[in-house]
A and B are shown apart, each in its own frame.
Chain A
Amino acid sequence: MKSRWVPVPSESSSLHGQHLQSCHDCCTVQPASNVRCSFCEHRLHARKHHSLQRSWIFLVTALILYLPANLLPIMTTSQMGKETVGTIAGGVVLLWEQGSYMIAVIILVASLIVPIAKFIALFALFLSKQLGIYRDPQNRIIIYRAIEFVGRWSMVDVFVVAFLASLIQMGNLMSVYPGPAALAFAGMVFFSMLAANSIDPKLFWDDDE
């Protein structure tokens, strides 16, 4: 695909505090003084309200849930009357030892590395914005997009547990039960998605820091 764009020369700077804004829902460009959209009448706001504060709260909630998600068992396997309780990290080690390197790596990346990387990236964005350091918006936007893109994929671990628990119910022969960590992990992903979504990327381009 070729890209075509023609920037408007006179208005090509950041519009924050200037005279135009666009409706988040119907994309109508209109005067910044409008409180409600001239077309769809939704409430307008140039920036998401309390973007960073909300994002902080969601991030802290996600961090708190990350502890039980990793410390509590995510899955209990009972085979011939023997019960094995497994945590996320334990599962990765087990898979590696069994020779399923591919899956071990996927689970390791999706459930341990990605959430931690995401927490660090979000902290970095907050610090960069709130302290006004490392201001290059291009770098910030790359981090922001990476966080936005990657967030949902961590949920794969919860789906694996839910799927295995529903499929493997063969009584004494072999049964799998979801552990409390599954729900904590789902909550962790949920809140970290909210944290990423609460950030208003337009803030990165504002130079009022």
Chain B
Amino acid sequence: MNDQLSDFRVICHECDLLVTVGQLPDGHKATCPRCGCVLTRSVSNALDRMLIFALTALICLLFSNLFAYVNLLVQGQERQISLLETVQVLFELNEWALSAFMLVIIIGLPAFFATLVSWLAIAIKLRRVSPRTINLMRFIGYLRFWNMAEIFFLGILISMVKVASLAHIEVGLSFWAYASFNIFFIAALLHYDKFQVALAIRRIVNEKQVGARAV
């Protein structure tokens, strides 16, 4: 289907220049000679790393949902909230749209992304891929575009500084779990290279076809 050479050609997604990337050594990246955008990065064991980061992120996200992430103390009154309570309180205030938005952005989308990326990595490792696997990649691409978990985390930090002048505020166990989740999640995002993943899938499908023909 694809000759070996065509696997190493990339058309720049920003300026449409055809570039021969060649077999990239680990730790190298290919940039477009015309517009300078990064075409692909080659990282050693990128798939394993991506899988591990995504699974770790998923576990951290799970833990961050179990406990409170901030404690607020005002004049002897204390209030603790967890991530899901953030969503719940907004819902009870009849801000259903804001509540749904928060549920999707802070928990739903990252969990979905990490699950799908892990699934994809495992499928490639087990060589159980077909041209249809590209559909999964496409969906992962959409999720990646709308990911805003780290912005929510920045929002928490800003709010905490804001509140600190009015009341006593403490971070809870889940705050650290959510912070670690963000770190691992970004690491997983950075290891997802569309070209490399697609290349791996195309190679396996190609090899399977050649194998089938030989039999």
Contacts and interface: CB of A to CB of B under 8 A. Distances in A.
A41 interface: yes
A160 B159 contact: yes
Given A5-B32, A15-B11, A162-B98, A167 B22 contact: no
A29 B151 contact: no
Interface in B98-125: 98, 101-102
B16 A183 contact: no
A204 interface: yes
A205 to B, nearest CB: 5
Nearest to B85: A166
Contact of A20 (B18, B85, B163): B18
B90 A162 contact: yes
Contacts, number: 216
B161 to A, nearest CB: 6
Contacts of B2: 28, 39
A16 interface: yes
Contacts of B62: none
Contact of A4 (B24, B72, B90): B24
B75 interface: yes
Contacts of B14: 141, 201-202
B21 interface: yes
A41 B132 CA distance: 9
Contact of A137 (B35, B98, B159): B35
Interface string A190-207: 000100010001101100
Contacts of A25: 134-135, 137-138, 141, 198
A183 B97 contact: yes
Interface in B129-155: 131-132, 134-135, 137-138, 141, 145, 148, 151-152, 154-155
Contact of B10 (A29, A38, A95): A29
A173 to B, nearest CB: 6
Given A39-B134, A106-B158, A1 B199 contact: no
Interface string B150-178: 01101110110111011100000000000
B146 to A, nearest CB: 8
A106 B79 CA distance: 27
Given A26-B201, A167-B81, A173-B74, A162 B15 contact: no
Contacts of B74: 170, 173-174
A75 to B, nearest CB: 11
B127 interface: no
Contacts of B17: 7, 12-15
Interface stretch (A49-57, A122-130, A148-156): A148-156
Contacts of A82: none
A152 B150 CA distance: 10
A202 B14 CA distance: 5
A152 B145 CA distance: 9
A134 interface: no
Given A28-B6, A141-B35, A165-B93, 7 more contacts: A15-B11, A26-B134, A40-B135, A159-B148, A162-B98, A166-B85, A202-B16
6 contacts: A4-B22, A14-B16, A20-B11, A103-B158, A156-B158, A201-B14
